[in-house]
Structure 1
Amino acid sequence: MARPPSPLRTVARILLGAFLVAAGVAHLLIPDEFLAQVPPLLPAPDAIVLVSGLVEIALGAAVLLAPARRRAAVGLAVAALFVLVFPGNVAQYLTGTDAFGLDTDGARAVRLLFQPLLVLWALWACGSLPLRRRRTTAAPR
């Protein structure tokens, strides 16, 4: 039987879920801020912002509400989302587009450095990334 997650991991998971839901709602309420992250080569930026917001809301709800046995899969999905939006963050940096208070190249570059931490947060908080290996017992001889 699996041990319950630590209180720290539970808090991290709840914060992650709330962060995703809030970000998803923000996509719907202030889409212009999120348009800055859509790479210029992609078609239908308004639709991309809308769909990505709905995906964030759905994943945030899943992080908060999924039963324990499904959390690792949810964590993988959230980590994948963070990887998929990374090119948008790079595009914002390369185009020098201001959004979310990121009005300098330095601020936009620092944001890029935090994206891997978001991936790790999702994997750890949802139990998708075990920090230690399970012990295996040797068979008696």
Structure 2
Amino acid sequence: MTRTVLRLLLAAFYAVAGCFHLAAPAPFLRIMPGFVPQAELVVQLTGLAELAGAAALAQPWWPGLRRAGGIGLAAYALCVWPANINHFAMDMARTDHGWGLAYHLPRMALQPVLIWLALWTGGATDWPFRRRA
């Protein structure tokens, strides 16, 4: 029950984020590291990836697709971490510190949790809840 509820909440989170990436890309473009080519296209593709992952994670019929969605969203969260780090560095360099440490430190600390949550709710791992034989 808990896994299902968290899976649906995570899918909703990614669906909303995907919609924002497509409908209002400006904030995402501002935090994109300079080494990323074709930033606009990357933001659009990440939005589509979030929507596809959310749909795969939310659907109740195919555990294999749900697992693939969880793995894909975990990989996505890992791949966008440089943009989050870049956003942190950019904000801390501002005189007003932008969103500040109260926003960025939990965001950085929770990124691995978000990766694990995608894997766990998608059924790719049972760690750390698996019972030993």
Q: Do the two structures share a fold, i.e. TM-score over 0.5? A: yes
- By percentage of residues, which structure has more helix? 2
Cα deviation for residue 105 of structure 1 reads 4.1
Q: Which residue of 2 aligns with 1:75?
A: 70
| Aligned residue identity for 2:110 | F
Would the aligned equivalents of 2:57 and 2:67 in 1 still touch at CA under 8 Å? no
On the 8 A contact 1:82/1:115 being kept in 2, the answer is yes
Q: Are 2:113 and 1:114 aligned?
A: no
Equivalent position of 1:104 in the other structure: 100
Does 2:48 match 1:54? Answer: yes
Q: Secondary structure of 1:114's partner?
A: helix
Counterpart position of 2:38: 44
Aligned length: 126
Q: Which has the larger radius of gyration?
A: 1
Runs of 4+ residues over 3 Å off in structure 1: none
Q: Quick check: 66-75 or 48-57, which moved more? A: 66-75
CA distance in 2, matches of 1:27, 1:75: 19
Judged with a 3 Å threshold, the aligned counterparts in structure 2 of structure 1 residues 134 and 69 are, in CA distance, closer, same or farther, namely: farther
In the TM superposition, residue 21 of structure 1 has moved relative to its aligned partner by: 0.8
Alpha-carbon distance change, 36 to 114 in structure 1, aligned in 2, over 3 angstroms: farther
Judge conservation of contact 1:38–1:48 (CA < 8 Å) in 2. no
Q: Distance in 1 between matches of 2:90 and 2:55?
A: 32
1:92 aligns with 87
